[in-house]
Structure 1
Amino acid sequence: MPSRSAGLDWAAERGLGALADRMGIELLELSADHSVATMPVEGNTQPVGLLHGGAYVVLGESLGSMSANFHAGRGHLALGVDINATHTGSATSGIVTGVCTAIHLGRTLTVHEIVVTDESGRRCSTVRITNLIKPLL
């Protein structure tokens, strides 16, 4: 199994994408089974000053999709086919941290759970993403 630093090297070559860059997502660890990233609250809020629910989903999908694509390997592509999120808290400042854990790493499907916490360690959102793995055409 490739190391987490190999995952970061792979991600640096590939990039996280324009949306993740715009939202300030910073990838700290990447492997198929465990990944970590942070995102600032500032600039990603709703009008009332809470981190936007969609921002939690973007962080979760970024982590889950990158982990799934790393698992898929060369010549394959992982595409999100289902995502859901349950928001249980609201960050208002600082950074949030997403920790992505594989639930299933199969040949054609992956499932990852991403727990997003605020700086005090309080869970704010739980995201689950399923990715379909298919050969590149």
Structure 2
Amino acid sequence: MKLSKEEILAKCAQMSQNTLMETLNIEFIDVGADFLIAKMPVTSTVHQPDGVLHGGASVALAESVGSAASMMFLDAEKYYIRGIEISANHLKSKREGEVFAHATIIHKGRTTQLWEIKIKDEEDQLISLVKLTTIALPKV
């Protein structure tokens, strides 16, 4: 049985409980056949000492949405998803508001998946561009 958009987003919210995603206030907001979108507030809790969005918080957002997107294509009862490589280019700073991470599939293999995650702000300005490779490991 294929899950509805609402069911997938509810499942993402449930899996985020008591994790880094909850700590960073990451919320999954939209899903489609080949993408997943999450948002994160930009507050002092995700700032560098000089008051702008920390690159590590952006990378955590990107890996969270890319890994969750990989789970959409696989049977989570049979596989663990792990990020095995991530590369991020931080292009613009952000002091407050929200950022939105849009993960789009580039390669959907049975074992590895390659995702492009664009992190943008409310004005659709590109903040970071991230490439994430995930691997599906069988549960035994």
Equivalent residue for 1:113, pick from 92, 98, 116:
116
TM-score, normalisation: structure 2: 0.89
Between 1:71-80 and 1:50-59, the stretch displaced more is: 71-80
Gaps of 5+ in 1: none
Equivalent residue for 1:128, pick from 116, 127, 131:
131
Gaps of 5+ in 2: none
Return the offset for 1:13: 3.7
| Aligned partner of residue 53 in structure 2, secondary structure | coil
TM-score, normalisation: structure 1: 0.91
C-alpha RMSD of the superposition: 1.7
Q: Which runs of 4+ in 1 moved over 3 A?
A: none
Matched-pair contact (CA < 8 Å) for 1:95–1:119:
yes
| Aligned partner of residue 6 in structure 1, secondary structure | helix
1:21 aligns with 2:37: no
1:1-137 aligned at under 5 Å gives the runs 2-15=3-16, 18-30=19-31, 33-42=34-43, 43-73=45-75, 74-137=77-140
| Aligned partner of residue 117 in structure 1, secondary structure | strand
Query: Counterparts of 1:13 and 1:112 in 2: how far apart (Å)?
Result: 22
Query: Counterparts of 2:112 and 2:56 in 1: how far apart (Å)?
Result: 24
Q: 1:104 to 1:6 in 2, by over 3 A?
A: farther
Aligned residues: 137
Matched-pair contact (CA < 8 Å) for 1:68–1:131:
yes
Matched-pair contact (CA < 8 Å) for 1:65–1:78:
yes
Q: 1:32 to 1:54 in 2, by over 3 A?
A: farther
